Amino acid sequence: MQYRHFRKCNNMININHLTITQNKDLRDLVSDLNITIQDGEKVAIIGEEGNGKSTLLKTLMGERLADFTIRGEIKSDLRSLAYIPQQLAEELKKKSLQDYFFLESTDLDYSILYRLSDELHFDSSRFASDQEIGSLSGGEALKIQLIHELAKPFEVLFLDEPSNDLDLETVDWLKRKIQKMKQTVIFISHDEDFLSQTADTIVHLRLVKHRKEAETLVEHLDYDRYSEQRKANFARQSQQAANDQRAYDKTMEKHRRVKQNVETALRATKDSTAGRLLAKKMKTVISQEKRFEKEAQSMIQKPLEEEQIQLFFSDIEPLAASKVLIQLEKENLFIGKRILAQELRLTVRGQDKIGIIGPNGVGKSTLLVKFQQLLSARREISLGFMPQDYHKKLQLDLSPVAYLSQTGEKEELQKIQSHLASLNFSYPEMHHQIHSLSGGQQGKLLLLNLVLRKPNFLLLDEPTRNFSPTSQPEIRKLFANYLCGLITVSHDRRFLKEVCRSIYRLTKNGLEVVDLQDL
């Protein structure tokens, strides 16, 4: 089937039999997707890491993707769109704010622009500055893209992980904005709270592991109802599979007894006529056995849990709960010579689990780097660090297996491949260069590296930022069950509530204690 894009279809997007195949591994990411997206619909694309969510989003925008074969039809009368990618585009990094907002933009509504800047607490006088966008914090860079894209005319807003770099206040603002928006929004998000409060349609990209093929599900439901339906379907299919297996086992046990009796009689008989009758019966028994085996192939199979990450920390001796690791007393936090925060007071002990929140650009990641410097100097601490920018820890030209290997021995490599398989890496993905993996797969790689290295204290900078909502509960469980201490920067409410025992808000005036119930 030929791929055709953006034909007239009466003010909606109509997708027919869309299949997207990754050329490298000849693997389908999207399989026979059929959906009509109405004006004003809020469509969330979800799925495990590496399952093609960003690829589908770009395809719907009309991008031609060299590494993929696209079959099917997309019909639309879409004339204008707005788009915010998962990562700041390279060509945007070197642009100045002035170029972005004034010199290169001719279709912006400046009354909307300045209203949005007020709502997002972004100083509008900075729009005329020559500061490069690449020098902004991740949260500020995302804010200016939101301001820019929402201030121009558009019929569909495309968002790829919009909550990744935003503080809690701005995420709440974006939720409200999407809820009130009359235009269509098609987005990818890992944030379960964000999904539950914005989406009214779910497109779920799945890899059916026992068949090793893609399955694309569409449900016109909000995320919470979709999740409940999915869990109910999983429980029902599991129960049916168990019932079928019990019935099959019972039938086969009865069959084995009959077969055994016939075999015993055949060995014992000396009568040729009886022997012929028994041989005929044995032929019937064997025929029944083949029929039972064939029927077993069509039995309902026990479903595999897509989000089953199967990672846990083991064999780690925690530091003493009373042991003081960090003691800040009226200290200042600097970036260069500029003071970001002052009068910092904090005591960190061996088994504390501390969450750090605060507005974009206040210095949370800088504070985490300060903690890293303080803890790295302690001999008794084996420190694990998961940065916000994965590239700081990953060697992008290596394969996942090579990156994780320390000895190169056959037994170690087999263990690593087994771990990667449990994280749903295909065999080819284990041996591709890391730079070709999705952000979520790179995040899984860092998680596995932490587990294999067995640190007794962790520093985590936005640890859930690139993980799909199907993986999120397992990520929370992994760190909630970690017996040692950790400090994490996060904007993920569920993660903070389930993992951390104390929360601090970083402001320019120091660290403020936050009640978990107030998040």
Instruction: Point out the least confidently predicted range of 36-40, 107-111, 276-280.
Output: 276-280
Amino acid at 100: Y
Give the tens place of pLDDT for each residue, 197-222.
Answer: 999 999 999 876 544 677 888 999 99
Beta-carbon neighbour count of residue 325 at 10 Å? 20
As a whole number, mean pLDDT of residues 318-341 equals 92
- Going by the DSSP 8-state scheme, the letter that residue 26 receives in this structure is T
Instruction: Point out the least confidently predicted range of 62-66, 289-293, 440-444, 472-476.
Output: 289-293
Looking at per-residue pLDDT, the higher value among 454 and 466 belongs to 454
As a whole number, mean pLDDT of residues 473-498 equals 94
Largest CA distance in the chain: 107
C-alpha closest to that of 395 among 354, 362, 367, 437: 437
Percent of the chain with pLDDT over 70: 95
Residue corresponding to tokens 């590496």:
50
User: Strands 510-514, 502-507: parallel, antiparallel or unpaired by DSSP?
Assistant: antiparallel
Angle 223-268/272-297 helices, nearest 10 degrees? 170
Give the tens place of pLDDT for each residue, 384-426.
Answer: 999 988 888 999 999 999 999 999 899 999 999 998 988 888 8
Looking at per-residue pLDDT, the higher value among 407 and 1 belongs to 407
Quote the pLDDT of residue 307. Answer: 52
Q: Which CATH number fits domain 324-518: 3.40.50.300, 3.80.10.10, 3.30.360.10, 3.40.50.720?
A: 3.40.50.300
Q: How confident is the model at residue 469 (pLDDT cuts 50, 70, 90)?
A: confident
Quote the pLDDT of residue 7. Answer: 44
E strands, 23-126, in order = 27-37, 42-47, 68-76, 81-84
Q: What is the mean pLDDT of the chain?
A: 88
Cα–Cα distance between 462 and 495 in angstroms, integer?
A: 10
Residue corresponding to tokens 């622009």:
113
**Backbone phi, psi, residue 109, to 5°:** -95, 105
Quote the pLDDT of residue 25. Answer: 79
First to last CA, the chain: 50
- Going by the DSSP 8-state scheme, the letter that residue 259 receives in this structure is H
Cβ neighbours for 250, distance < 8 A, ≥ 6 positions apart? none
Q: Which superfamily, per CATH, for 4-230?
A: P-loop containing nucleotide triphosphate hydrolases (3.40.50.300)
Quote the pLDDT of residue 392. Answer: 87
Quote the pLDDT of residue 211. Answer: 47
Cβ neighbours for 5, distance < 8 A, ≥ 6 positions apart? 62, 74, 76
Torsion of Cα atoms, 461 then 464 then 465 then 471, to 10°: 160
CA distances from 277 to 224, 269, 400 (A): 63, 11, 63
Give the tens place of pLDDT for each residue, 285-312.
Answer: 888 888 877 777 766 666 555 555 678 8
Quote the pLDDT of residue 311. Answer: 84
Cα–Cα distance between 341 and 412 in angstroms, integer?
A: 45
| β-strand partners of 234 | none
C-alpha closest to that of 84 among 138, 122, 131, 35: 138
DSSP characters for 207-257? EETTTTEEEEEEE-S-HHHHHHHHHHHHHHHHHHHHHHHHHHHHHHHHHHH
Cα–Cα distance between 515 and 519 in angstroms, integer?
A: 7
| 2 has pLDDT over 50 | no
Cα–Cα distance between 393 and 384 in angstroms, integer?
A: 11
CA distances from 77 to 4, 6, 86, 156 (A): 13, 6, 26, 11
Side-chain-side CA neighbours of residue 263 (13 Å): 8
Looking at per-residue pLDDT, the higher value among 230 and 226 belongs to 226
Cα–Cα distance between 415 and 427 in angstroms, integer?
A: 13
Quote the pLDDT of residue 301. Answer: 64
Quote the pLDDT of residue 518. Answer: 80
Quote the pLDDT of residue 103. Answer: 85
Quote the pLDDT of residue 267. Answer: 81
- Tokens, residue 62: 């009309």
Instruction: Point out the least confidently predicted range of 112-116, 174-178, 450-454, 463-467.
Output: 463-467
Quote the pLDDT of residue 450. Answer: 94
Q: Which helix (H) or strand (E) holds 203?
A: strand 201-208
| 1 has pLDDT over 80 | no
Cα–Cα distance between 475 and 388 in angstroms, integer?
A: 16
Quote the pLDDT of residue 470. Answer: 79
Cα–Cα distance between 156 and 168 in angstroms, integer?
A: 25
